[in-house]
Amino acid sequence: MSNYGFTVPTSGYDDEDRLVGWNRADSNLDQSWNLSLVGDWDSFTENSTTQNRTHGDAHEILTADSQAVTHDAKGNQTGLPSNLTTSTSGLTLEWDFENKLHAADVDGTSGADILQKFDALGRRISRDDGTTTTVFVPSGQQTIADYTAGTAASSPTYRYVYASYIDEPVMRAGSTSTAKLYYHRNQQYSVTALTDTTGSIAERYAYDAYGKLTVTDGSGNSISGSAYGNRYTYTGREWDGELGLYYFRARMYSPESGRFVSRDPIGYEDGQNLYENSFRLVGVDPTGLLVDTVTQAARVCANDHNKRACMETLLGRPLKPDEVAKFFPKQAPPPSPQPRVDVEQAVMVGISLYCIKKALDVIRPRPQNNNDECVEQWESDQRWCSRKYRNDPDNYRACLEWARWQYLACVDDKPRKPFAEPY
């Protein structure tokens, strides 16, 4: 978006390569940070206005410019002042026993304005704003449809189609053929624009270094929020304009404070700061857990009905044969038997097999598979699925599953099978 790019000044990174300076291209937004050793914002300066903060022993925010931030016994933020939220009345949060955000008061009236519900796997399945209850239909860790509570199953408000990455929506379909919108992203999977079926720009999105959202219409005029009800924005996650928070599955993230509002469920595994984010300018953290290893993906997907597909979606690639053997030993091919033979017999057999192989290669040359070729074919199959079924989400998901099995067949040197549409 014109004038919404950014530059990092010469001194924009400290000795530990942490971002401490950021300037927007139009010169109307300059930000800088004074960081503690573990990444707490001791002070934050925006356009020459400085906010000083204090932190507790677990690196939770205690005050922001002397305004108190409160927490419950588990470290979940229960009260945020107005200078850390988009609400002029501050924000009061209520949490369930699994540290999921259950309710929120956004207007200071001591009553819940927003209610959220989660299923047994920790996935958000509904949001009630007091006027409308929206039901979210999950498939694995992705939401594939929105419904207004009480409507027929055949009448979703929106349906979503994704590319290969878990937070890469490519299309939202409404109730009519002309209600389709297409998502466009940057290298961080942050949505930068929506286009309609004619290719015209419907909306644009811009962000500061920590995800504070700016929305404009197709002509570039700033507006208060999405006119299309789009919530997929920063790093492909879901923005809640009333709360001023992003939904990152395991946790909620505040762009105003540049951190999560509850502790990291996996503890200190990825650092000493339980509230720090892990995406910044070019990174992503789709679950709020920093899933960048196979072990962490296995933990996140432990209860998923298709654990392997869930792990591959989070990692953005198929599992390697050694990873399959470690986490799915029943799916790994059994080791080849090693018969005992004497050295002379082994040499004679080896020579005979070598000669046979050479003869066959002359008669019918055959390329040898390797994992790189299989991965390349897997990626090609995914692209084919996306082109073929971009308007058919059910067959699209089935096609992606077919592509994954073709990859496994390629690794095991088995023949490919054509895709048969199940729907």
Are residues 236 and 102 both part of a single domain? yes
Q: Are 171 and 180 in contact (CB under 8 A)?
A: yes
Q: Among residues 221, 238, 260, which one ends one of the domains?
A: 260
Q: Please indicate, yes or no, if residue 124 is contained in any of the structural domains.
A: yes
Specify whether 107 is located in the same domain as 250: yes
Assess whether 80 and 214 both reside in one domain.
Answer: yes
Residue 260 CA to residue 370 CA, distance in Å, equals 42
Is residue 61 one of the residues assigned to a domain?
no
Give the span between the Cα atoms of 236 and 251, in whole angstroms: 15
User: What local confidence, expressed as pLDDT, does residue 367 receive?
Assistant: 41
Q: Decide which of 204, 238, 260 is a domain's last residue.
A: 260
- The answer to whether the beta carbons of residues 368 and 139 sit under 8 Å apart is no
Is the residue at 172 inside a domain?
Answer: yes
Neighbour-count burial of 37, counting CB atoms closer than 10 A to its CB (0-12 exposed, 13-18 middle, 19+ buried): exposed
The end-to-end CA distance of the chain, in Å, is: 39
DSSP annotation string for 78-141: EEE-GGGSS-TT-EEEEE-TTS-EEEEESSSSSS-SEEEEE-TTS-EEEEE-SS-EEEEEEETT
Host domain of residue 418: 367-423
Domain boundary among 210, 240, 260: 260
Q: State how far the Cα of 252 lies from the Cα of 17, in Å rounded to an integer.
A: 26
Question: Residue 293 domain-assigned?
Answer: no
- 246 and 375 fall within a common domain: no
Going by C-beta distance under 8 Å and a sequence separation of 6 or more, which residues neighbour residue 412?
333
Q: Look at residue 165 and tell me if it is in a domain.
A: yes
Tell me, yes or no, whether 97 and 245 share the same domain.
yes
Q: Are residues 248 and 117 in the same domain?
A: yes
216 within domain boundaries: yes
Domain assignment of residue 198, yes or no: yes
Give me the residues paired with residue 13 across strands: 19
Q: 224 in a domain, yes or no?
A: yes
Helix (H) or strand (E) holding 64: strand 61-64
Q: What is the largest CA-CA distance in the chain?
A: 89
Q: How many domains does the chain have?
A: 2
List, run by run, the mean pLDDT of 10-residue segments along the chain (423 residues).
85 90 92 93 96 95 96 96 93 96 92 95 95 95 95 94 93 86 94 96 95 94 95 96 95 95 83 74 53 66 74 74 81 56 53 52 44 79 80 78 84 84 77
Print burial letters for 74-92: b (CB count within 10 Å at least 16), e (below 16). ebbbebbbeebbbbeebbb
Residue 254, strand partner residues: 259
